[in-house]
Amino acid sequence: MKQLKQLFLPKPLKSLTKSWNSSTGRNHKGRITAWHRGGGHTKLYRNIDFKRKHTQGIVVGLEYDPNRSAFLARIFNPDTQQHTYIIAPSKIKRGDIIRSNSKRNGLQNGHSKSLQYIMTGTLIHNLSVFPGQNAKILRAPGACGLILKRTKNLAKVRLKSGQYRWFDIKTIATNGIVGNTNSRFNKLYKAGQSRWLGRRPIVRGVAMNPVDHPHGGGEGKTSGGRPSVTPWGKPTKGKFTKRFRIQPKPNVKI
């Protein structure tokens, strides 16, 4: 534990931070589209390199990021004298060498490279959907994907959810697993801690008025009087709301 504390840096770099105005879950019309958000402690946004095309250097240390559960690793490039933030993989240490867009095969922890240069059976994270875009997949603590097989143009990856998806072989990913894997065991000791994180209270539908929720109203404590629905009347708890693509059956002659 003492070694872990020594690895962390006290303050973020001013050159890599900027002010962040939270929308509190409202759209451009001022209507709430993401519920139970608002308030919270003021925080700065860290500029993180999600593309991982040019970041190279030495790991200076880890930092806490208030905008995500994963930790950040600060990379210093002695050639350009510049610092960069990346999502910290697990088992990363101060003094490790980080390279980006490498063409060498291997299991270098924290090195980024396109899928065509990563061996099958390797654990990856920080994966982009299309080549040249920011990584949007496998960024949560403990998240990792597994490369199952590759073709000439595509690579098949098993995601953390168990889903199998094909990606362009030129998309960039990072070797290893996202750090801070025990973040899901963090415990909030009072309701105020939830408010510090920007989470507002959740009110049950049966405790509302009929104008606010389909479960609302009634004398005394009622159970809703109808199957569970969303505030807009759509069924929930069991009914599929996602449209599944029906694949045609192959013409097989027996």
Burial class of residue 237 (count of CB atoms within 10 Å of its CB; 0-12, 13-18, 19+): exposed
Rounded average pLDDT over 226-254 = 73
pLDDT band at 23 (very low <50, low <70, confident <90, very high): confident
**By the 8 A CB rule, do 80 and 62 touch?**
no
Cα separations (Å) of 219 from 11, 204, 207, 223? 55, 16, 11, 11
Q: Is the pTM of this model over 0.75?
A: yes
Rounded average pLDDT over 112-141 = 92
pLDDT band at 244 (very low <50, low <70, confident <90, very high): low
What's the pLDDT tens digit per position in 59-118? 999 999 999 999 999 999 999 999 999 999 999 999 999 998 887 777 788 899 999 999
* Full set of structural domains in the chain with CATH: 2-181 (2.40.50.140), 203-242 (4.10.950.10)
At residue 148's C-alpha, the angle toward residues 50 and 179, to 5°, is 40
Nearby residues of 174 by Cβ (< 8 Å), 6 or more positions away? 52, 86, 87, 89, 110, 111, 112, 124, 125, 126, 127, 135
- Cα–Cα distance between 71 and 174 in angstroms, integer? 15
Rounded average pLDDT over 174-198 = 93
